Structure 1
Amino acid sequence: MKKNLLIIGAGGVAQVAAYKAAMHNDVLGDIHIASRTVSKCEALVAGILEKKALKRPGILAAHQLDAMDVEATKALIRQTKSQIVLNAGSAFLNMSVLSACIDMGVAYIDTAIHEDPKKICETPPWYGNYEWKRREDCERKGVTAILGAGFDPGVVNAYAALAANAYFDRIDSIDIIDVNAGSHGRYFATNFDPEINFREFTGTVWSWQQSQWTANKMFEVKRTDDLPVVGEHTTYLTGHDEIHSLSANLGVPDIRFWMGFGEHYINVFTVLNKLGLLSEQPVTTAEGLEVVPLKVVKAVLPDPMSLAPDYSGKTFIGDLIKGERDGIETELLVYNISDHEDAFAETNSQAISYTAGVPAIAAAMLIAKGEWDCHRMANIEELPPVPFLDLLGRIGLPTRIRDEKGDRAFDPAEFGETRQTRPKVRQA
């Protein structure tokens, strides 16, 4: 059993994680929140206390931390006696925080793949460029490091593992579909850190097709689906984190990620991009000031956390999986629907942050209970999916299943027995 959680970050995902951790501090123990700006952490603590979200009396504290400083992070882990660290901050921090956790022998969780601020859309597989290089260190020291424990990556990986382990005999394709059918009422904004958001779409779109990496341009390939609850939406082929582990772990020839965009977003994005305002490379102004255009755009756009009070509508995220079961061509849709207003009522956040923050806390709870304390580095699909999806349903993110039997709530009993007719995902 592991106790005491250190959450690094104070943005939207960290906020949801902090609220949810407080609601389950009987399992997680002391809750500590740390970021470069301690006032943001203190505001989170105040909000949690105002909502009386702590399940039982306990420590809920704010700390100042530059998480790029490995030694400072190690010192805070030591000071707080944290045995689980969640990096809910920038993806630029992953390797620094992971290093501190390995040195301290404590569990590590993140919600997105590591990024180098100076590089965009590196050569696949992205995990192989950074996190997977520390696999042997984790295994040698018995450190649990769970990568990509948000929704996508994260829950969608668990959906894929569920299908591979307990539903299909052979999987031919996995199409991950992410649609935000909500509205925040602003002229233009991103739902999470603009710097990270834009970096996903300004480089090469990498997908896994015919068992090899395939390159496309953003907005070059699209599809239209009639989805449960949110209806018909057009989505675009996009590069994304989970493809880079699923392609290595599942043996599926086609794995693609599709994200929904409105025409207005595409138009604004295209103008910004063509003007060079989304570049991560510094430029010098006529006055001799060196600036990074992408950081300037980030500075003038609304803070994603500020969108939450006015957000309405729902999100859809799911896996459309095709393959063979008992000799018959079969299609399975595994998905979640979340509501922006419900997320705000519970955690003062919008549903995009909610869907990323809740799974990270579910992962922390499973580590604390020992079910996911695997003592090595693992992507979500390498861990047992049923307890994860079951727990998610109980703490705010219910899963639904649609196949030839109809559309129904996920029932752990239905997937309790794994099928033995095909190789399974490697699991801890």
Structure 2
Amino acid sequence: MKKNVLIIGAGGVAQVVAHKCAQNNDVLGDIHIASRTKAKCDEIIASVHEKSAMKQDGVIAAHQLDALNLAAVVALIGETGAQIVINVGSPFVNMTVLDACIETGAAYIDTAIHEEPDKICETPPWYGNYEWKKRDLCAEKGVTAILGAGFDPGVVNAFARFAADQMDEVRSIDIVDINAGSHGKYFATNFDPEINFREFTGTVYSWQSGAWQENAMFEVGREWDLPVVGKQMAYMSGHDEVHSLSANYPKADVRFWMGFGEHYINVFTVLKNLGLLSEQPVKTAEGQVVVPLKVVKAVLPDPASLAPNYTGKTCIGDLVKGTKDGQEVELFVYNVADHAEAYKEVGSQGISYTAGVPPVAAAMLIATGEWDAKTMKNVEEMDPKPFFTLLDRIGLPTRVRDKDGDRAWDA
């Protein structure tokens, strides 16, 4: 049984992770939070105490850390006695933190694929470019690494596995992410603007007819009629889970759809056409060298600041189609989250909440041994049922809609 958690990162998602770890510290043990800016970790800890989130008395401590410094990460894992590392920092640090876990034997959990700062929208295979190269080493060392254990990727991978387990053949997996909430700002992104924009400035990849297909962003859209949030427009986008799901279900078409309003599309298009979403440095007339994308990030609202006034709900789910006993079947497996309720509970908005709760559930399953795989796995390679059971209990209930109606997943 593994205990003691090190959380790397101090943004909105890390705040949710810290609160949920605190609420379950009887299972997870000591909690440590590390970031380049220790003051941000201190603020998260203050919010945990303000909400009286600790289930029982225990350690919750802040640390300063450069997560790109392998030796420093290794040292902090040793100093804290952390046996589980939840990486919700920048995706630029994934490989360093993973290497530190392999060196120390700590279990590793992240919520997104690794990225290099100077590369945007790399060509598939994304996991194959980085994390999966360490898969054999994890198995050799007996190190558990659960990749992409946020919501998407993460819970949606488990949704796909749950639906696929009820079919003889899977024909298609369509992941739909709709945020029907409102933050009241002229323009803002729901998570790190730099990472948000990097997802949408390059080629959109989907897996269809047994091969990678390429489209431009906002080229392919369709209206979805979803539970609670109703009819919403979503556009095919590239996303982490498309790669791992296509590797595990190669005969199925795998697509990711994200909801965007006209205002977001218009602002995004102007920024992109002006070159303000470029990751390449430029020199100003004054001789200063700046990265346009980082300048845009600096002037936009901090996603964490959106939480107090955020209203509305999210709906994220998988429409999975296939056959069972020679008959066509389809399941929509989904979750609905509420921004205001998330803020009331943990001080974060709903997007951070949906991303931050699942890695804590994964950590608890590693702690109890059910997901302590002692090798590298993507979420769809693990049994989804204990995952759903925990998510139901700690804030993200799973539901299913099919020809028989709409119900809890285990009804």
Q: Smaller-chain TM-score range?
A: over 0.9
1:417 corresponds in structure 2 to none
Q: Is the 8 A contact 2:45 2:61 kept in 1?
A: yes
Matched, 1:278 2:277: yes
Gaps of 5+ in 2: none
What secondary structure sits across from 2:201 in the alignment? Answer: coil
1-structure distance, mates of 2:327, 2:349: 41
Q: Is the 8 A contact 2:164 2:320 kept in 1?
A: no
1:370 corresponds in structure 2 to 369
2-structure distance, mates of 1:244, 1:169: 22
What secondary structure sits across from 1:302 in the alignment? Answer: coil
Matched, 1:36 2:32: no
1:191 corresponds in structure 2 to 190
1-structure distance, mates of 2:189, 2:233: 18
User: Letter of the aligned partner of 1:214 in structure 2?
Assistant: Q
2-structure distance, mates of 1:10, 1:398: 25
1-structure distance, mates of 2:341, 2:200: 29
1:228 corresponds in structure 2 to 227
Aligned positions of 1:213-362 closer than 5 A: 213-362=212-361
1-structure distance, mates of 2:208, 2:183: 35
1-structure distance, mates of 2:163, 2:400: 11
Matched, 1:172 2:171: yes
Matched, 1:2 2:2: yes
Spell out, residue by residue over 1:276-317, the C-alpha distance to the aligned partner (whole angstroms, 9 max, x if none).
Answer: 000000001111110000000000000000000000000000
1:396 corresponds in structure 2 to 395
Gaps of 5+ in 1: 415-428
Shift of 1:253: 2.7
Shift of 1:410: 1.3
Shift of 1:369: 0.3
Spell out, residue by residue over 1:249-275, the C-alpha distance to the aligned partner (whole angstroms, 9 max, x if none).
Answer: 123330000000000000000000000
1:12 corresponds in structure 2 to 12
1:51 corresponds in structure 2 to 51
TM-score w.r.t. length of structure 2: 0.99
User: Letter of the aligned partner of 2:389 in structure 1?
Assistant: D
1:112 corresponds in structure 2 to 112
1:406 corresponds in structure 2 to 405
Shift of 1:371: 0.2
What secondary structure sits across from 2:240 in the alignment? Answer: coil
Shift of 1:48: 0.4
1-structure distance, mates of 2:118, 2:274: 19
TM-score w.r.t. length of structure 1: 0.95
2-structure distance, mates of 1:252, 1:219: 26
User: Letter of the aligned partner of 2:235 in structure 1?
Assistant: Y
User: Letter of the aligned partner of 2:58 in structure 1?
Assistant: G
1-structure distance, mates of 2:28, 2:349: 24
Shift of 1:404: 1.1
Shift of 1:136: 0.9
Shift of 1:66: 0.4
2-structure distance, mates of 1:55, 1:407: 33
1-structure distance, mates of 2:252, 2:373: 28
1:206 corresponds in structure 2 to 205
User: Letter of the aligned partner of 2:264 in structure 1?
Assistant: Y
Q: Which runs of 4+ in 1 moved over 3 A?
A: none
1:426 corresponds in structure 2 to none
User: Letter of the aligned partner of 1:34 in structure 2?
Assistant: A
What secondary structure sits across from 2:377 in the alignment? Answer: strand
Q: Is the 8 A contact 2:190 2:351 kept in 1?
A: yes
1-structure distance, mates of 2:229, 2:262: 17
1:77 corresponds in structure 2 to 77
1-structure distance, mates of 2:181, 2:234: 15
What secondary structure sits across from 2:311 in the alignment? Answer: coil
Shift of 1:50: 1.2
Q: Is the 8 A contact 2:334 2:398 kept in 1?
A: yes
2-structure distance, mates of 1:137, 1:69: 20
Shift of 1:331: 1.2
Shift of 1:123: 1.3
2-structure distance, mates of 1:352, 1:361: 15
2-structure distance, mates of 1:355, 1:324: 30
2-structure distance, mates of 1:226, 1:5: 40
2-structure distance, mates of 1:291, 1:251: 42
Provide the identity percentage. Answer: 70
2-structure distance, mates of 1:126, 1:280: 19
Q: CA RMSD in A?
A: 0.6
Q: Say how many residue pairs are matched.
A: 411
What secondary structure sits across from 1:103 in the alignment? Answer: helix
Shift of 1:163: 1.4
Spell out, residue by residue over 1:49-77, the C-alpha distance to the aligned partner (whole angstroms, 9 max, x if none).
Answer: 11110000000000000000010001000
Spell out, residue by residue over 1:186-240, the C-alpha distance to the aligned partner (whole angstroms, 9 max, x if none).
Answer: 0000000000000000000000010100010000000111111000001000000
User: Letter of the aligned partner of 1:190 in structure 2?
Assistant: T
Spell out, residue by residue over 1:80-139, the C-alpha distance to the aligned partner (whole angstroms, 9 max, x if none).
Answer: 000000101111110010000000011000000100110011110100000000001100
1:379 corresponds in structure 2 to 378
1:424 corresponds in structure 2 to none
